[in-house]
A and B are shown apart, each in its own frame.
With several copies, the nearest count.
Chain A
């Protein structure tokens, strides 16, 4: 069965979520991955959106974190201050799912500006919930396409000190070494170590036991496509 690199990335991200985990989800690939996980191996996954929806069970992928179905399908809808103060901040959430415009070798994230802060080349959306998702969740998973543009040697701005337990890209999976530096621990099928190094702005280390990611199963792909094509 053919699949795209983005599909591989999304499936790998979904697999990073164990059943019954409590997951703080942003929009985009993280939301797709979390909803895929809930429909495959993790039916008891609890999805929390920063709009205040706790235990959302959307039947289709939301375009925004404030889509009506997130609220109507949730176990509880609370205010935005409450979602951050009572639910995220005390460490009740197992996994925070983040994306990034830039990522450094320690997993710090930039979603604020490219170029100098005062006169940016590109003004990005900014922090949103990311800094406190990074500090408040028991673990962080970053999902981001790997390229010289995103995997940089120095961030233009540190938006979130994420320290992810896992970074999942369209090329493979990275995990921190004991020193905290991200190391490639798995490559997606058909991707070489040279491909991954060529898409990384620092001298990327490969794990001794570097593995190959299992390709998406037909079932994973079916469910993913039914989600994204709806």
Chain B
């Protein structure tokens, strides 16, 4: 049964020190407000999982919440580099960051395996690349029918998944639409899940392209209007492309990032 509570309480319930946690959202519906609350609550030693660790993970990494990053593309989309991510990888600041690096297809299938209750998934992936040499998550597997060699990847099981959605009803059924990414898979891969929403409504009227997560797979719902900013929520807000560009300057050096962080924690 879903607990509907405040964002601070929900984050405290769902995200714990040392967790393997995914904040998902493929450009759209990124749960920034929940990420900021994790920073405020001072979580540490997180293994952060995300296909595209963009600005939200730059912030969590810069704030020292992360010990490890599992990902497939770490950049500021349409802008450039993630400076806090680079500083952590290149100089160990504010703390060393272990990385486990995959391709998008590998990551997506690792979520699919976990959501499906399987220990692994099969794909044609990463062939001819240096990725397998630097990852324990890519192994060959032979088709028992054709003898063909393919790629096996292990399930990406999560302690916690955090996603943002347009809305929930009072039972905790969740509805999201537009680009829905791997959010369903992330929630179904997790022991605990938190969904922040733009609004809570009496009835979820059907919407074209919507994914519905029934309440019995959602642990916590928290109202967080605008909680995807600077990402967006289709039908509620537009992407704040200017902020993504400003982030390049904010994050470029440790001092200006420090000011941003103090402002957030005030």
Q: Within 8 Å by CB, do A and B touch in the complex?
A: yes
Contact A63 B77, CB 8 Å, known A70-B179, A71-B178 = yes
Q: How far is the CB of A42 from chain B (nearest CB, A)?
A: 14
Nearest-Cβ distance from residue A47 to partner chain B, whole angstroms: 11
| Interface 1/0 per residue, A140-180 and B, CB below 8 Å | 00000000000000000111110000000000000000000
A residues in contact with B178, CB < 8 Å = 68, 71-72, 77
**Does B127 lie within 8 Å of A125, measured CB to CB?**
no
Chain B, 55-79, contact with A by CB distance < 8 Å: what is the 0/1 string?
Answer: 0000000000000000111110110
User: B117–A126 contact, CB under 8 A?
Assistant: no
Tell whether A158 pairs with B129 under 8 Å between CB atoms, given A65-B77, A79-B185: yes
> Which residues of the other chain, A, contact B124 by a CB distance below 8 angstroms?
89, 132, 135-136
The answer to whether A75 and B129 touch (CB under 8 A), given A80-B26, A86-B116, A123-B85, is: no
Docked-complex contact A77 and B239, CB < 8 angstroms: no
| Interface residue count on the B side (C-beta < 8 Å) | 64
Interface status of B229 (Cβ within 8 A of chain A): no
Contact: A81 with B239, CB < 8 Å? no
Q: Does B108 reach chain A (CB closer than 8 Å)?
A: yes
Interface positions, chain B 76-133, Cβ under 8 Å from A, are: 77-78, 81-82, 85-86, 89-90, 101-105, 108-109, 111-112, 115-118, 123-131
Nearest to B130 among chain A residues (CB) is A158
**B interface SS class:** loop
| A77 CA to B239 CA, complexed, in Å | 18
Give B101's nearest chain A residue, CB to CB: A126
Given the complex, which residues of A lie within 8 Å of B256, measured CB to CB? none
Q: Looking at the complex, which one of A71, A120, A127, A160 makes contact with B73 (CB distance below 8 Å)?
A: A127
Q: A103 within 8 Å of B by Cβ?
A: no
Q: Is A128 an interface residue (CB 8 A)?
A: yes
Q: How many residues of A are in contact with the other chain, CB < 8 A?
A: 59
Given A65-B27, A75-B214, also A129-B127 (CB < 8 A): no
Q: Find B77's partner among A27, A76, A112 (CB 8 Å cutoff).
A: A27
CB atoms of A126 and B185 under 8 A apart:
no
The one of B52, B86, B182 that contacts A123, using a Cβ cutoff of 8 Å: B86
**Cα–Cα distance between A63 and B109 once the two chains are bound (Å):** 26
- A9 interfacial contact with B, CB 8 Å: no
Let me know if B182 and A80 touch, CB within 8 A: yes
Is B212 part of the contact surface with A, judged by Cβ < 8 Å? yes
- CB-CB under 8 A from A76, the residues of chain B are 211-214
CB neighbours of A51 from chain B (8 A): 26-28, 179, 181
Whether B188 sits at the interface, judged by CB under 8 Å, is: yes
Q: In the complex, which residues of chain B have a beta carbon less than 8 angstroms from the beta carbon of A77?
A: 178-180, 209
A160 to B128 CA separation, bound complex (whole angstroms): 7
Q: Does residue B184 face the partner (Cβ distance < 8 Å to A)?
A: yes
Please name all residues of chain A whose beta carbon is closer than 8 Å to the beta carbon of B71 when the two chains form the complex.
126
CB nearest to B231 among chain A residues: A66
Tell me whether A127 and B90 are in contact (CB under 8 A): no
- A3 sits at the interface (CB 8 A): no
Q: How far is the CB of A45 from chain B (nearest CB, A)?
A: 11
Shortest A229–chain B CB gap in Å is 16
- Whether A79 contacts B180 in the complex (CB less than 8 A), given A71-B234, A161-B127, comes out as yes
- Whether B264 sits at the interface, judged by CB under 8 Å, is no
**Given A63-B239, A124-B75, 8 more contacts at CB 8 Å?**
A51-B179, A81-B108, A81-B112, A108-B128, A123-B85, A126-B72, A128-B103, A158-B129
Top 3 A-B pairs, shortest CB-CB distance? A66-B27, A90-B117, A161-B128
Chain A residues close to B by CB (< 8 Å): 20, 22, 27-28, 46, 50-55, 62-68, 70-72, 75-77, 79-81, 84-86, 88-92, 108, 112, 117, 119-132, 135-136, 157-161
Cross-chain pairs A/B with CB under 8 angstroms, 22 sampled: A22-B216, A52-B26, A55-B173, A62-B78, A64-B239, A85-B109, A89-B118, A90-B116, A90-B117, A120-B90, A124-B75, A125-B75, A125-B82, A126-B74, A128-B73, A129-B104, A131-B105, A132-B124, A158-B130, A159-B129, A159-B131, A160-B129
